[in-house]
């Protein structure tokens, strides 16, 4: 004879508890997952927008830091110039290179900044920093540029261009040495600058974050 309630803690004569119907369980599960799914979709939207340069609705991002990041992305995306330059940073780099570093330096300055930050929004806005602590689109060191908003692309690019101009003036217009000095610092490169052969600036130590080709200064 089957005894009601065995194994369920109920006493004889009581009815066993009923499991929820399949449809009810699915409904409860969907309800429980709705908020996490919404949050995940918001994160995915931010990531997708960062990758392709689309605008982000900053109001949908709960975290204040993320909201600020989203607003900056949105602001610069409005200045984009297509998939090749979704935030207009490359065009701005060339413009400032020609204006500040010197006529004809726009293309070289763009390549330089490409190697410094890759025009990666996470790097440009300071979400990611180099192992040495360099920040922003031009990878400026905070201790050397404390009064520059390193997370503002235009401020960083103007400062970087002015720094390159100073290095060129101080180093007799030698582009190889100016690039090396920008990357590793004049002090670190001074012993190599005293050499007169072409290997002098190429041998200059680079910051750990740097990936610009040695052929630029060889």
Q: 140 with 207, same domain? A: yes
Residue 189 confidence (pLDDT):
82
Q: What are phi and psi of 75, to 5 degrees?
A: -60, -45
What is the pLDDT confidence band of residue 139, given thresholds at 50, 70 and 90?
A: very high
pLDDT tens profile 144-166: 999 999 999 999 999 999 999 99
84 domain residue, yes or no: no
pLDDT tens profile 64-87: 667 777 888 888 888 888 889 999
Q: 127 with 32, same domain? A: no
Give one DSSP letter per residue of 105-142, joined into a string.
-HHHHHHHHHHHHTT-HHHHTTSS--TT--BTTTTB-T
DSSP designation for 11: P
Residue 135 confidence (pLDDT):
94
Of residues 45 and 27, more confidence is placed in: 27
Q: 39 with 96, same domain? A: no
Q: Is the pLDDT of residue 118 over 50?
A: yes
Structure tokens at 72: 């900056």
CATH number of the domain that residue 93 is part of = 1.10.530.10
Q: Which one of 19-23, 94-98, 180-184, 213-217 scores highest in mean pLDDT?
A: 94-98
Residue 26 confidence (pLDDT):
72
Q: 49 with 97, same domain? A: no
Contact 212, 179 (CB under 8 A): yes
Residue 22 confidence (pLDDT):
55
143 domain residue, yes or no: yes
Residue 82 confidence (pLDDT):
83
Using the 3D structure, point to which of 77, 97, 114 is the last residue of a domain: 77
Task: Name residue, tokens 């979709």.
Answer: 41
Q: 73 with 134, same domain? A: no
Of residues 34 and 15, more confidence is placed in: 34
% the chain with pLDDT above 90: 37
**Nearest in space to 193 (alpha carbons), one of 185, 203, 184, 201:** 201
Q: Is the pLDDT of residue 129 over 60?
A: yes
Structural domain containing residue 55: 22-77
């Amino acid at each position: 004879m089957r005894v009601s309630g065995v194994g369920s803690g109920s006493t004889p004569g009581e009815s066993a508890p009923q499991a929820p119907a399949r449809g009810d369980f699915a409904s409860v599960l969907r309800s429980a997952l709705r908020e996490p799914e919404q949050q995940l979709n918001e994160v995915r939207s931010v990531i997708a927008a960062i990758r392709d340069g689309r605008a982000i609705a900053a109001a949908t991002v709960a975290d204040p830091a993320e909201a600020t990041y989203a607003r900056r992305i949105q602001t610069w995306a409005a200045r984009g110039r297509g998939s090749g330059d979704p935030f207009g940073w490359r065009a701005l780099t060339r413009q400032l290179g020609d204006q500040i570093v010197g006529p004809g330096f726009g293309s070289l300055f763009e390549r330089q900044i490409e190697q410094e930050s890759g025009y990666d929004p996470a790097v440009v806005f300071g979400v990611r920093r180099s192992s040495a602590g360099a920040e922003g689109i031009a990878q400026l060191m905070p201790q050397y540029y404390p009064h520059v908003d390193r997370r503002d692309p235009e401020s960083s690019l103007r400062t970087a261009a002015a720094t390159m101009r100073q290095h060129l003036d101080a180093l007799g217009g030698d582009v190889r040495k100016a690039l090396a000095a920008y990357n590793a610092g004049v002090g670190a490169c001074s012993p190599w600058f005293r050499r007169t052969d072409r290997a002098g600036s190429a041998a200059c130590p680079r910051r750990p974050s740097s990936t610009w080709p040695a052929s630029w200064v060889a």
